[in-house]
A = this chain, B = another copy of it.
Amino acid sequence: MVAEFIFVGTELLLGNIVNTNGAFLAEKCAGLGLSCYFQTVVGDNEGRLSETLERAMDRSDVVILSGGLGPTEDDLTKETAAKVCGRKLTMHEPSREMLKHFFERRGMELTENNWKQAMMPEGAIVLDNPNGTAPGLIIETEKSKVILLPGPPNELCPMFEANVAPYLADLTSQVICSRTVKICGVGESKAETVVKDLIDAQTNPTLATYAKTGEVHIRVTASAENSEKAERLIDPLVRELKDRFGRAVYTTEDETDLETAVVRLLADAGLTLACAESCTGGLLSGRIINVPGVSEVYKAGFVTYANEAKMSQLGVSKDTLDRYGAVSAETAEEMAAGAARAAGTDAALSVTGIAGPDGGTAEKPAGLVYIGCRVRENVTVRKYRFSGSRRKVRESAVAAALTLLRECILEAVEI
């Protein structure tokens, strides 16, 4: 089954916003086993939208449109889609009621334009929007299923998960299940080499690799007549991937990210954590603290960008800084030790490096980063050489620090 996306909005054509819905819908539909060959961005213009929708309906089984469902005069996706599909708009009473309550709860007044949002194409399936005022719509025509979703990602994503994904799964009569094996500390090309034979041999389940900063995700997708059978197809392949990548696999749960896995590992091992950061300047702590409920394990962070701060907050010795420099294995080690001592934690991570673009030398080039990791009495310091912009170097360093901490905890727990 072939799906196609149309993103409606002048703000996309002007570059006011980045189209994150594109990657979201593409990844989800690929996960559902749909083939996607085209995505189009078009403005809030009836003629061009009609033309684009007609062409999409000619060549695809499912057409998903996002954006242009709001209350203003510019918003004409619903009206245009109804016309192209040959449906009249009529008042949809449940939507009218919902809209009324939505505004009443917020003490806001409804304008004539708002009522427009309760008009629906005849025979369409109306999808609840708990996060906004514009409901979604499914119009089933002989040619294709036309699905209209609101543009804001915080409305589109939950609506897709709750209503559209099950609808599309039903359409294919097959159930599609997928699981993601998430790997850290292994480069993308290395990971691809490791799974090349599996990818070449794939039919059902299929395998796809996705590179993230410092991580590789491998999605295993199977289709079968029910989810139990699909899961049974997935199981051996996930086991095989775990065998091949070993400890580098940090989770097989979609909703778990690297920082969550690391925080969980710390909690399970009964360890508390402190961070000392120089070039990453707080991004490492910032990422760890994005995990809800992190306060059990994360105690304190020190952003010691200046050498004085490294000395006064962490007790790094002047001698070490003078002899080896701030970007050195010795300084990284003392930073980790100092953070653990100052915060009274069992574990500590330290990062010191040259994020660039300036500040590098032949001996210590931009991108050189030392990461120190202390778990109880054991200290590991590792040297990294990252490439890319200042931002990219810093993000890579954060991912590497989380990966190193994970490794050190696993080793400490084993011993």
Which residues of A pack against B, CB within 8 Å? Answer: 12-20, 22-30, 36-43, 45, 48, 52, 154, 208, 210-211, 275, 277, 279-286, 288-290, 292-295, 298-306, 308-309, 312-313, 342-344, 357-359, 388-391, 394
Contacts and interface: CB of A to CB of B under 8 A. Distances in A.
A276 to B, nearest CB: 10
B23 A19 contact: yes
A197 to B, nearest CB: 19
Contact of A306 (B12, B15, B300): B300
Contacts of A306: 295, 298-300
Contacts of A13: 26, 30, 36-37, 39
Closest 10 CB pairs of A and B: A301-B303, A281-B289, A282-B282, A15-B27, A15-B26, A282-B285, A300-B309, A39-B41, A282-B286, A283-B286
Contacts of A282: 275, 277, 281-286, 289, 301, 303
B40 A28 contact: no
A211 to B, nearest CB: 7
Q: Which residue, of A17, A289, A302, has the highest number of chain B Cβ atoms within 10 A?
A: A289
Given A301-B302, A305-B294, A305-B300, A26 B14 contact: yes
Given A15-B27, A277-B282, 9 more contacts: A39-B41, A281-B289, A285-B305, A292-B359, A292-B390, A293-B358, A295-B305, A302-B303, A312-B343
A263 to B, nearest CB: 12
Contacts of A305: 285, 289, 294-295, 298-301
